[in-house]
Structure 1
C-alpha cells in the first residue's frame, strides 16, 4: 500500500498550541502529543546499515511512539497478533457476533468509559456463555475473543464489541459439540438482544445512581445484537479478525485533504449499502472526535473468554486439535521482515547509531547526504 498523502499527525502538528482546548483530560492530551511526535526528530531515532556487503546502505529512521491509538504504529503489532492466533484455530465454523450500545449511553460512556466498557465486555460474554450452556441451544462450554471499538465511520461515539465465537463448545464429557445445523447456526439474535439489554441495565443500576426515567429510556429502545453467517473457512477467521484488533478510529489513508483549517476524509454510509462519501470537519471538531476514542490508560480492549482464555486454552486446544485435526500446519511461520533493507531487498538493517531528540551528530548527517547524492535509487 502506498504512503498516505496526509496523516492525523499533520492535523495535530498544525494545532499543537491549542490541543489542550480540544481534549477532555490530560491522558487524551498526552496521547495526542505522542501521536503528533511519532516518527519525527522529537522522539529521537537511529541510523541503520544494511549487512549486505554489496549494499551497505545507510538509513535514517525516527522512533515510533508505539501508542495503540496511533495510525502509524499498528502494522507490526497486527501482524504479530495474527501469527500468534493462527496456531490456536480450531477446525470448526466461527461466527462474528456484534454487541452494540445505544446512543442513549454516549454521555455515560464519556463520563465513565472504563466502567461502562467493562460492563459491556462482561455482559456480552455472560450472554453467549449462558446461551451456550443452555441445553435448549447447545449445552456446552464456549469461548470468545472480543475487541472493543468505540467509533462510527464519521468518528462519532459508537461503542460496540466485535466477537469471534467458535460454532460449538465442550460438553461435560470433554467432547466437542457443534452448534445447530453442524455449526452453521448459533443462537436467536432477538432473544440474545433482550437478555443483553436486561443484564446490561441491571449492571448499570449497581454502578450508577440515575433516575428511573434514565433506565426507562434504555428499555424503550431495541438493542442491536447480530451474528453474521459463519466464515468461509477457519483460516479466514484470524485474517478477518486482524482487521479489527489493532484498528483505530481513522486510518491515514482515509484522509483526502487538509486545507483551510478543515479535514476531509472518506466514510462509508452503511444505511446506503456501504456507499463511500466525503465528509469534512474543522480541525477542532476532528481532534475532538478523535479524542473520544482514546481509551483510559491500561484498559484492555482485546479479551479472551471461556475455552479461549489464557488460563484454559493451553490445556483445552491441543486436546480439541487432536480430536478434530489442525487448521494450519504445525510449523514455525517465517519471520516478519520489517527490518529488510528497502534498497537491495536482500540484506537486513542493523542499527549502528542511536540518537535522542537533539538529532544525529553532524558527521553522520554528512555521510547520509554523501550517500544519497552518490548512490542511485534502485527502488525507483
Structure 2
C-alpha cells in the first residue's frame, strides 16, 4: 500500500535539503516523526501464535497529529468522549472562510491569523445569536480549523457544529424559528469581516492587505446536518483527518505522486499528479503551528460550564416528556468503542504479545503533544 510515510521516507531528506531555511524546525520534526512511524526506530511488539509459531511484528506509531497512519482510528475514541455533549435538537454546520487575497497573510502568520479567525467567527456567532430579533440566547459551539482543499491547496476555514437551541441569561431555552434555519448569514458575514479586519491590523503584514478585500461580500455557509450523533460523525473526520489520507494515494515514485480527490463543484472523482517536491510543499503547508489548538469549544459547550450543559439537557428532556418540544429526532444513543484483538494471519487464533525495545534509546512517544512531535 502506498502511504505518505513511505513517500516521506524516500524523498524527505532531499526535500528538506532543497528547502533549506524555508522549513521551520517544527516542520522538520514533524517530517522526522512521520518517517519513523511504525518502524524499528520506535520499537513495538512481536506477537507469537501459540499454535503454529507464526510471528507478527507491530511497531509503535509516532502519534503525531499530522500523520495519516496514526489518525485513522482516532475518530472513534473522540466520538465516544463527545457523548456527554449531545443534545436532542437539530444540528447545524456553519463554515467561515476567508477570501483568497488573505491567504498569503494567513500562511505567513499562521498562529496569529488562525487564532484571530477563531475569535472573530465565534464572537460574531454569539453576537448575532444574542439579538432578540434572531435567536435571543447564547449558543453552544464546537469549532474545528481546517486548512486544505480536497486537492491539497491552502484554504484555511473553520467549521462550527452548533445545536439548534440557545440559552438566555435567565436560563430559559430559545429555539430557531424553523428546523432548517439557525441564523441569518448576511449580518453574520458582515460582522465576521469587521471583527477579523480589526484583529489583522494588529499582526505583521496586516496593514498591507488590499482594500478591496474588505469591500466585497464575504460568504458564510450554514446547513442542517441532522441529529447530534449524525453531526458528530460528520465532523469527526474534519478533526482527525490530515490533509491527505493514505487511501487516496494512487501511485508514487522518486519523481511524482498521484492522488485522487472529489471535485467540490461536480462531485466527480478526479486525479492530480504532482512533482514529489510540489506534493510535499502542499502537504507541509498544512502543518499546524506547534501547540496550536485546532478544536475549540464556546458558549455552553466550554468545559468550565459543563454544569450549564447538563441543565440544558435536563430542560430539553422535561420539555420533550411533557410534549412542549418535539424536534422530530430520536434521543441520543451511546456510541460504543470496540475492543482490539490480534488474530494470527495463518490460523486465526488470538496471538500472544510481548514488547520490543525501540531501536533508539528513547521510549516511544506517549501523546500527540510529545516534545518535538506535536
Are 1:216 and 2:211 an aligned pair?
A: yes
- Give, in whole Å, the separation in 1 of the partners of 2:12 and 2:48: 34
Are 1:355 and 2:357 an aligned pair?
A: yes
Are 1:324 and 2:316 an aligned pair?
A: yes
Cα distance, 1:17 vs structure 2: 2.4
Are 1:233 and 2:227 an aligned pair?
A: yes
The answer to whether the Cα contact below 8 Å between 2:129 and 2:135 also exists between their aligned partners in 1 is yes
Name the counterpart of 1:377: none
The answer to whether the Cα contact below 8 Å between 1:19 and 1:29 also exists between their aligned partners in 2 is no
The answer to whether the Cα contact below 8 Å between 1:132 and 1:139 also exists between their aligned partners in 2 is yes
- Give, in whole Å, the separation in 2 of the partners of 1:143 and 1:342: 47
- Give, in whole Å, the separation in 2 of the partners of 1:127 and 1:342: 55
Are 1:304 and 2:301 an aligned pair?
A: no
The answer to whether the Cα contact below 8 Å between 1:234 and 1:327 also exists between their aligned partners in 2 is no
Deviations 1:208-242 (A, max 9, x none): 4644x6251321343221101x2232221111111
TM-score, with structure 1 as normaliser: 0.84
- Give, in whole Å, the separation in 2 of the partners of 1:72 and 1:148: 20
- Give, in whole Å, the separation in 1 of the partners of 2:167 and 2:348: 47
Cα–Cα, structure 1 residues 62 and 194, in superposed 2: closer, same or farther, change >3 Å?
A: same
Number of matched residues? 345
Deviations 1:281-340 (A, max 9, x none): 001000111000000110000111110011112x022222222239334x6x64432344
Name the counterpart of 1:26: 25
Name the counterpart of 1:69: 66
- Give, in whole Å, the separation in 2 of the partners of 1:209 and 1:350: 58
Name the counterpart of 1:195: 191
- Give, in whole Å, the separation in 2 of the partners of 1:162 and 1:354: 41
TM-score, with structure 2 as normaliser: 0.85
Unaligned runs of 5+ in 1: 360-380
Deviations 1:190-220 (A, max 9, x none): 2211111111011111234644x62513213
The answer to whether the Cα contact below 8 Å between 1:48 and 1:60 also exists between their aligned partners in 2 is yes
